[in-house]
Amino acid sequence: MTATVILPAVLRPAAGGLGRIPVEADSVGAALDQLAREWPLLERRLRDERGRLRQHVRLYLEADDISDLAGMATPLPEGSRLHVIPAVSGGC
């Protein structure tokens, strides 16, 4: 399946300036594994070395938070968009 990972501006320098990255993956986890191979600096901004999504990173498949779906096992439909969202959290 071909999907697109969409990055916030702050992460684009970690992906060579790209804002949209095409991935050939059938799940969210497989998409991030592809990022780990192609853009390791970007991928480790999203997941720790255990492969767990960082606490204040959210991934939305279209309009749905993957934590409300099947997490990393969430299937990626053909042509879907996976949005990387910095959570609105954290204090000051």
Partner 1 sequence: MEYMTVVRESEMSEVVLLIGTRKGVVVARSDQAGSDWRLRPLQLIMSEVYGVGIDTRGGRLRLFAGAANPHWGPTVVHSDDLGESWSETDAAPIAFPEDTEAALIRVWQIQAASDREPGVVYAGVEPHALFRSEDGGISFELVRGLFDHPHRPEWAPGNGGACLHTVLPHPTDPQRMLVALSAGGVYRTFDGGATWEAANSGIQAYWMPEEERFPEFGQCVHKLAQHPDHPERVYAQNHFGVYRSDDYGTSWHPIESGLPSTFGFTVLAHPGDPETAFIFPLQADSERMPPDRACRIYRTRDGGASWHPLGRGLPQSGYHSAVLRDGMCTDFGDPAGVYFGTRNGEVFATRDAGESWELVAEHLPDVLSVRAAVVA
* Residues found near partner 1 in the complex (CB under 8 A): 11, 39-41, 44-46, 48-50, 52, 54, 56-57, 86-87, 90
User: How far, CA to CA in Å, does 81 sit from each of 49, 50, 62?
Assistant: 25, 25, 6
Residue 79 or 90: the one with the smaller Cβ distance to partner 1 is: 90
DSSP-derived secondary structure letter, 88: S
Distance of closest approach, residue 79 Cβ to partner 1, in angstroms:
28
Which residues does 81 contact at the CB level (< 8 Å), separation at least 6?
A: 3, 4, 6, 61, 62
* Nearer Cβ to partner 1 (25/84): 84
Give the nearest distance from C-beta 87 to partner 1 in angstroms. 7
